A = this chain, B = another copy of it.
Amino acid sequence: MSQSDFKQAPHKLLLIPGPVEVADDVLLANAHPSMSHVSPDFVPVLGDCIRMFRDVILAPESQPIITAGSGTLGWDHVASNVIEPGEEALVLNSGYFGDSFAECLEVYGSKVTQIKAPIGSKPSLEEVEAELKKKKYKVLTFTHVDTSTGVLTDAKALGDLVKRVSPETILVLDGVCSVASEEIRMDAWGIDVVLTASQKGIGCPPGLMLLAASKKAIKAYENRKTKPNSYFSSWSKWLPVMKAYESGTGAYFATPPTNLIYALHASLTTITKGKTSIEDRWAQHIAVSDQVKNFVKDLGLKQLVADPSKDGAHGMTAVRYPEGLKAPDVLPKMVARKIVVAAGLHKECKDEYFRIGTMSESVVNKERGDIDYLLKNLKEALEEAGYRK
């Protein structure tokens, strides 16, 4: 067979907030023959990925780091390179992932203060401003989209706030569930670290941690009084390696996951050099998100996000089960229709809702018809479970 004939095997439609459906060319790239990680064939592939990642988050000034891992590993990068033991971190908590980022920061010695919002909402700018004025925070972290709740935090407003109130604070955007599906203008908004993973908006299989650091974040790392207190996440190791790959020469610290880098190259090429701009891509995600949110509203269902028009993410929707129905009444009926959506994740209410992921391939490749198929079957599954509006 010719490589260009490759089509992925038939499978259930995956519409969870990551991993997401992946294009055939990305999967074929993941089946690339083995390559030396320091060969002249491979080095520019990773170099291109570094450059293209900057284009996805509009961050020409930033230094990306791309390694094997997952979004979780991005927290270790922040906690062990940007902030030092004993320094203060402010964590904005809009769901499960705020708790976890806070825990990671504490493992590496940060003193953490959290502003916890009620489930389905986010800390207000007024609360954040008041807290930033109380003491000198080395870092401020927020979950751009909390995958457990579907709450979107206003990154631009936080960038403006930090510039105005606490300009030395390193502003960290956890973009695991937002990069390439939500508007992010890292440089213009004054974001200092964007961290993410490969299996959501970027449209790749899971297995990669992607991070970008501003000049301010790099300076904070360079000005450390103590050495980075992790090894696999240490910027003293990765910064020279990333610079070497970008300049076209290989370097070694840990073997890069070469096949996933080829897959990433394919997906980033589509995102940054395809027919549509990154702005168009954000707009496509908004349109599909609106379509899903309006559909569930018309069905008479409520969302976990208190005010979806203001705080709702555009790559996922967290939907409350209608009264009387629970996960076992609904999710297996979706699976029977060859659709996988996700159960709830937030520990305080995980049995009360389910999550629909609408990112990347299912959104931008209209020919697949994934969204129409989802909505038609969601309605039928609920009706079969006995739900009437």
The residues of A with any CB-CB pair to B shorter than 8 Å are 1, 3, 5-12, 14, 16, 18-22, 27-28, 30-37, 39, 41, 68-73, 75-76, 79, 103-104, 107-108, 197, 199, 205-208, 227-234, 252-260, 340, 342, 345
Contacts and interface: CB of A to CB of B under 8 A. Distances in A.
Given A1-B1, A199-B255, A207 B68 contact: yes
Contacts of A259: 27, 30, 205-207, 260
SS class, residues of chain A in contact with chain B:
loop
Contacts of A257: 68, 70, 205-207, 257, 260
Given A6-B31, A16-B36, A22-B34, A68 B255 contact: no
16 contacts: A3-B9, A27-B31, A27-B33, A30-B259, A68-B68, A69-B232, A70-B254, A70-B255, A75-B231, A76-B231, A107-B227, A107-B230, A205-B260, A206-B256, A206-B259, A260-B260
A109 to B, nearest CB: 9
A36 B340 contact: yes
Contacts of A10: 33
Contacts of A253: 72
Given A72-B253, A229-B107, A8 B21 contact: no
Given A207-B207, A231-B79, A231-B108, A255 B71 contact: yes
Given A30-B31, A36-B14, A205 B258 contact: yes
Contacts of A234: 107
A238 to B, nearest CB: 11
A108 B205 CA distance: 31
Contacts of A8: 31-33
Copies of this chain in its oligomeric complex: 2
Given A107-B229, A230-B76, A231-B104, A197 B39 contact: no
A309 to B, nearest CB: 29
A85 to B, nearest CB: 10
List the 8 shortest-distance A-B pairs measured between CB atoms, nearest first. A207-B257, A72-B254, A11-B33, A205-B259, A31-B31, A104-B231, A27-B31, A70-B254
Contacts of A12: 41
Contact of A231 (B72, B228, B258): B72
Contact of A206 (B37, B41, B76, B199): B37
A5 B6 CA distance: 10
- For A20, A228, A231, A340, the residue with the greatest tally of chain B CB atoms inside 10 Å of its CB is A231
Contacts of A342: 36
Contacts of A18: 255
Nearest to A5: B1
Nearest to A198: B257
B232 A72 contact: yes
A68 B230 contact: no
A14 B1 contact: no
A12 B232 CA distance: 30
Nearest to A103: B231
A209 to B, nearest CB: 8
Nearest to A11: B33
B20 A34 contact: yes
- For A199, A259, A260, the residue with the greatest tally of chain B CB atoms inside 10 Å of its CB is A259
Contact of A228 (B3, B33, B107, B340): B107
A148 B5 CA distance: 40
Nearest to A7: B1
Contact of A68 (B20, B35, B108, B206): B206
A227 B258 CA distance: 34
Nearest to A237: B72
